[in-house]
Amino acid sequence: MNSTKALDFLAARNHGSDLHTRTCTMPADRATCGMNDVMIETVDLHRSYRIGRKSIEVLHGIDLKIHRGERVFLCGPSGAGKTTLLYTLAGLERPERGSVHIDGTDLYALGRREQARFRNQRIGYIFQNYHLLPELTALENVAVPGAIAGKDTMELAMKALERVGLGDRSDHLPAELSGGEQQRVAIARAIVNEPKVLFADEPTGNLDSKNSAEIMGILLDLATEHQVTLVVVTHDQNLAKAGDRTLIIKDGSIH
């Protein structure tokens, strides 16, 4: 994995910005590089689902603090609420109770439009099953979040694709790519708007061990190079060891 090849598109577009100027080498600089800053904070987070007449509470009042630049793995049995928690942290699913602050912003206090803009610009999300648009090429898929933000992003999208090693597949449709390649496209799409926080839901769940290691390497490198705060759901406790902290979610609570 090429750790030294920085996300040059991030740097080029961020002179003087947080992402660019705060870049540091982990772990030596970590203590002086914002580890005391809270990037994600939840207070008393509750989320339930209604099935028929029954309501099942999936998150039972989760209090969580994740620091800027921290790489956190979220583990737990199937059905424990990992995806629900990640959705709630990312602004994709409103909790019934409690709050989520991302970089000091109260996510669910924002209006619908502001929240969508905040997500688009600050949060990258890698879905469990890639969620690529099948009729768009790899490059076009990666360009979508930039287009939503009103940017001319084909060049940035190409750089993001190159960053994940897929520059030579830019005009392929998702159906013409392997699972590992589709996941790389999904990562490129998640980073194209230079997010401060990156969420990944079982990003290696459908991949063989070689591809899993490569994908995890890319995510960890991205976090390290640009102090992106990383939250990754995984079943694989071995992969989780590469992070700074592992959270276990069980019965709707963090252990």
Site residues (vs ligand ADP, CB under 6 A): 49, 51, 58, 76, 78-84
Q: Do residues 134 and 152 make contact, with C-beta atoms less than 8 angstroms apart?
A: no
Q: How far apart are CA 171 and CA 82, in angstroms?
A: 34
Q: Which does 78 bind (CB under 5 to 8 A by kind): Mg ion, ligand ADP, none?
A: ligand ADP
Smallest gap from residue 254 Cβ to ligand ADP (A): 12
Consecutive H or E run containing 232:
strand 229-233
Q: Which is nearer to Mg ion, 81 or 195 (CB)?
A: 81
Smallest gap from residue 128 Cβ to Mg ion (A): 6
Q: Binders of Mg ion: how many residues, by CB under 5 A?
A: 2
Of 81, 101, 98, 100, the C-alpha closest to 253 is 81
Query: In the chain, which ranges are continuous DSSP H helix?
Result: 8-13, 18-21, 82-89, 112-122, 138-148, 154-163, 179-191, 209-226, 237-240
Q: Which is nearer to ligand ADP, 38 or 80 (CB)?
A: 80
Q: Which is nearer to ligand ADP, 9 or 87 (CB)?
A: 87
Q: Which is nearer to Mg ion, 185 or 200 (CB)?
A: 200
Q: Which is nearer to Mg ion, 82 or 119 (CB)?
A: 82
Smallest gap from residue 58 Cβ to ligand ADP (A): 4
Tokens of 131: 């969620």
Which letter does DSSP use for residue 180 in this model?
H
Footprint of Mg ion on residues 66-85 (CB under 5 A)? 82-83
Smallest gap from residue 46 Cβ to ligand ADP (A): 13
Of 244, 250, 253, 249, the C-alpha closest to 72 is 244
